[in-house]
Structure 1
Amino acid sequence: MRRLLPDQRRRAAPWIVGLMTFVSLVVGVAGLAVIGAVADLSEAAEGRWSLQVTGTPADAARAEALIGGARGVERIDKVPEAELRRTLGQWLGPAAEQLDLPLPTLATVSMSPGSDGKGLAARLQREVPAARLTPYSAELAPLLATLRGLAVLVGGLLVVLAAALAGAVTLAARATLDSNRATLEVLHGIGATDAQLLSLVQRRIALDVLAGSAAGALAALVVMVAALIPARGMLGGYGGGPWVAAGGIALLALLPLVQAVLATLVARRALQQALAEGS
């Protein structure tokens, strides 16, 4: 029976499915990278506070002594003045070395889990008004909110792509059925059942979808590898690390199969409705 259907080698379904698979994989891996960046940033900011003292050196010494003697404070890493002047030089140029500008005291304060950082910040504000102790999480909050919004956007895009794939497969299934309507009617007339005809057309669509998904996944793999090789030096930072790599590989392996199964089920439903309308 399979030989009775003409082999349409220029079918559009594999190309549409391949394109959607490619876009879904790239968007999905990008979403995993965003989620990994949120996790890395949140972990890096945990228990870390920023100390800024804009007053005199005596104010800075009092603030450091107060923080150093507080419970839960593990260490204070003061930013060297030379590094502050180098940073200032990026904005002012050579004039930064000639100007006698007062520089604030900056330091990173590391606290153990469960420490009362807010209480320490309030106490520091009362005793040393020129000093301020702020959590890294507060400074990173706008960035984290933006990244979480991007992750939600990625999820929405994947849902839209899945819906578009279902619609494209439905149209392809009906087009295949309509283009082979005469042959199917002959088969039906010589005793073929609706279940047999459904299985025949469904098999062709399933092979198209699987071929398109595999091609899209291969193209996505090539593009992502080519994009990540130049950026390998940045992946050691806030890129998600091995977790994102493992998640990307799993997504790359499973998405074509999931799409093929989903598209086959959608095509079967569309074919059942089309056969019911034609009978």
Structure 2
Amino acid sequence: MSEVILILKREIDIKLEADAITPDSFAGKNAGEIENLPIWQGPKTYPLSDFFEVKGNGGSSAAETLIRIKGDVTRVKRIGEGMSAGNIEIEGSTGMHVGSGMKGGEILVSGDADSWAGMEMLGGLLHIKGNAGDHVGCAYRGKWHGMKGGRIVIEGSARHQLGGGMDGGEILVEGNVEGFCGIRQNGGLIVVKGRALRCVGAEMAAGTIVVGGAIERFNPGFEYTGMVDGFTQGGVELSGKFKKFTGDYAISKRAKGVLYVAADANPEL
């Protein structure tokens, strides 16, 4: 696998739109050609080399290309957008829309990720070792269908509307989430090992959500169906007692969403 190293040259003021930073765009190009790829800052385009030092050449294909990004790129958006194969490793935190619409390959973020990470993702792996912002794996504004495939792993916590409109795939959060986790979920699996703030599964029609900690404000549209011992689905296995609910019946009497809630952390439910 060929490695391309991007080193941030200076602090970014106006945020960059850098959807050109993908293995697909870098594949088959030498360092000079990669330097000339366009990125947006406000209403203007600039060559990638205006902001990044480029070392190395792309591989023969996207699958044979690794992009390693050095520096704080929290003000750089859309890294890895739509990528189909290959690897991106971000040695720090990153900006909005990382991995949006990605179809394959792997992205590793060593720090935090801003909002809209993995938006409408179709395949591949997005692994965030820190925290994530709002709308992870969500549908974009005005659209109903979010993430359809792939896997998102967040080792820290996430904020509001995780998995909104999710149709498929998996999202695993080791920490906590805030409001409206799984809002309008239509499929797929969301696992939150920590706490949830409120309205988990609001307007949920199908799919599965598991919460291993306390839910501060439970959604009244869910109906208790019984107790289960442990949870196993795909490659996810959790031990302990879980209360099983179905819903969200506040939206439809034919809803098929399933919500598992840790019994010990939620004795009042």
TM-score of the superposed pair, with normalisation by structure 1: 0.22
Which protein has the larger Cα radius of gyration, Structure 1 or Structure 2?
1
The structure with the largest helix share of the pair is 1
The structure with the largest strand share of the pair is 2
